[in-house]
Amino acid sequence: MIEYLKICRPDHWLKNIFIVFGHVVAITLVLNFDLSSTLVLKAFLSLIPACLIASANYVLNEILDAPFDAMHPTKKLRGIPAGKAKVPILWWIKAGLIVSGFALAWLLGFNWAYITALALLLISGVVYNVRPLRLKDRAFMDVIAESFNNPIRLWLGYYALVEPHNVPPASIVLAWWFFGALLMTGKRYAEFRFINDAELSGRYRRSFQTYTEKSLVLAMITYANLFCFCTGIAMATYPKLNNLVFVFPFIVAAVLFYFNHAMKTETARLEPEQLLQNPWIIACTVFTSGLTLWLLMTPTNYAKAAHLLGPLKL
């Protein structure tokens, strides 16, 4: 039973913390920080269906990747390639997770936009893993497809708190997508160096037949620039985000630290998931997130001016 639980990867549910970013966007741009205990509870509950659907995708991934995992230095020890889990049982577990996820979303009263985002999360797992598309085998498309889960999680968090007629800014959605692409490319880079065998890595993941260390580094630079560009547009366009210009240097510093860590010789020996578990990366993320929240709740000069000029216009 423990092996089946491992395949559902509850330890990876932490990735759904990105849903909280959607909560923050909704609270800042739509709700004006007008929170209630009901909204806080709803925000917390919105994580549960997403975790169940994410686990359904992990099960599908493990089933379809088992032949390839058998050629990986460490993934060959997973449940299916190691003969510790039976595929028919896993299909039933996947079905149960899907039904439970959507049923819970409906019972909790989430709107159709949230449920649509939940369906997109499920579909993204199919597009990423199942032939004939199986985008995880296509160089660069694998990163774009996998990182699309970032906008999906943003929508899940956003529409858990606001009505569907409110649409999140495209600049923020794209920035979050490019940020995810940067992280996913870093994982590819670490994994590519971890295997350190061109023939074996190509058999394990077809996209590695195309990737090189240079192309992956250039891709990381591209996604980092696009993330900064879209973030800058959002900060300049929305008055409530103007203060975030002060946190931008810390964001750039965090990105540079991530690059430096990903390229270290010892990092090549790490599993991709371990790349983001570096204490300094976690510390940078926590500090930057805390500073961002404080600046969001601090009135901007634009808001103060609008407040002072308001009576004059009357």
Q: Note the pLDDT tens digit of each residue in 194-248.
A: 777 767 777 777 888 888 889 999 999 999 999 999 999 999 999 889 888 888 8
Task: Determine the pLDDT at residue 308.
Answer: 47
Question: Is the domain of 158 the same as that of 111?
Answer: yes
Shared domain check, 242 and 149: no
Give me the pLDDT at residue 312, please: 42
| Residue 311 domain flag | no
Is 309 part of any domain? no
| 8 A C-beta contact, residue 182 and residue 223 | yes
Confidence band (pLDDT; 50, 70, 90) for 265? low
Residue 210's SS3 state is coil
- Minimal CA–CA distance to 186: which of 209, 145, 218, 226? 218
CATH code, 68: 1.10.357.140
Average pLDDT over residues 256-281: 64
User: According to the per-residue pLDDT averaged within each range, which of 68-82, 189-203, 237-251, 296-310 is highest?
Assistant: 237-251
- State whether 126 and 44 are in the same domain: yes
Q: How far is 179 from 185, CA to CA, in rounded Å?
A: 10
What whole-number distance in Å separates Cα of residue 172 and Cα of residue 170? 5
Residue 271 pLDDT level (bands cut at 50, 70, 90): low
Q: Considering the entire predicted model, what is its pTM?
A: 0.85
Q: Higher model confidence: residue 132 or residue 78?
A: 132
Percent of the chain residues topping a pLDDT of 90: 48
Angle at 183 between CA 10 and CA 282, to 5 degrees: 70
- Domain assignment of residue 312, yes or no: no
**Mean pLDDT value across residues 81-99:** 91
Q: What is the mean pLDDT of the chain?
A: 85
Return the top range by mean pLDDT from 1-5, 116-120, 192-196: 116-120
Residue of higher predicted confidence among 55 and 211 = 55
Fill in the amino acid letter for 172: I
- Examine the domain organization and report whether 148 and 289 are in the same domain: no
pLDDT level of residue 278 (50, 70, 90 thresholds): low
Look at 283 and 90; give whichever has higher pLDDT: 90
Is residue 310 domain-resident?
no
Q: Which of 42, 244, 80 has its CA nearest to residue 160?
A: 42
In angstroms, the Cα distances linking 199 to 64, 68, 139 are 21, 13, 16
Residues 21 and 109 grouped into a single domain: yes
Q: What is the pLDDT of residue 188?
A: 84
Residues 50 and 120 in one domain: yes
20 and 146 within one domain: yes
CA gap 82, 226 in Å, rounded: 41
In a domain, 151, yes or no: yes
Residue with tokens 């919105």: 46
Question: Is residue 17 domain-shared with residue 138, that is, in the same domain?
Answer: yes
Q: Are residues 116 and 182 in the same domain?
A: no
Does residue 115 register a pLDDT over 50? Answer: yes
Residues 67 and 129 in one domain: yes
- 204-220 b/e with 16+ CB inside 10 Å = b? bbbbbeebeeebbbebb
For the record, the structure tokens of 286 come out as: 């926590």
57 and 196 belong to one structural domain: no
Token pair, residue 314, equals 């009357």
The pLDDT assigned to 311 comes to 47
Instruction: State the residue for tokens 């085998």.
Output: 137
Contact between residue 205 and residue 163 where contact means Cβ atoms under 8 Å apart: no
Q: Is residue 67 reached through a cis peptide bond, with omega within 30 degrees of 0 on the bond before it?
A: no
**How many domains is the chain partitioned into structurally?**
2
Task: Give residue 263's domain range.
Answer: 169-300
Establish if 306 belongs to a structural domain.
Answer: no
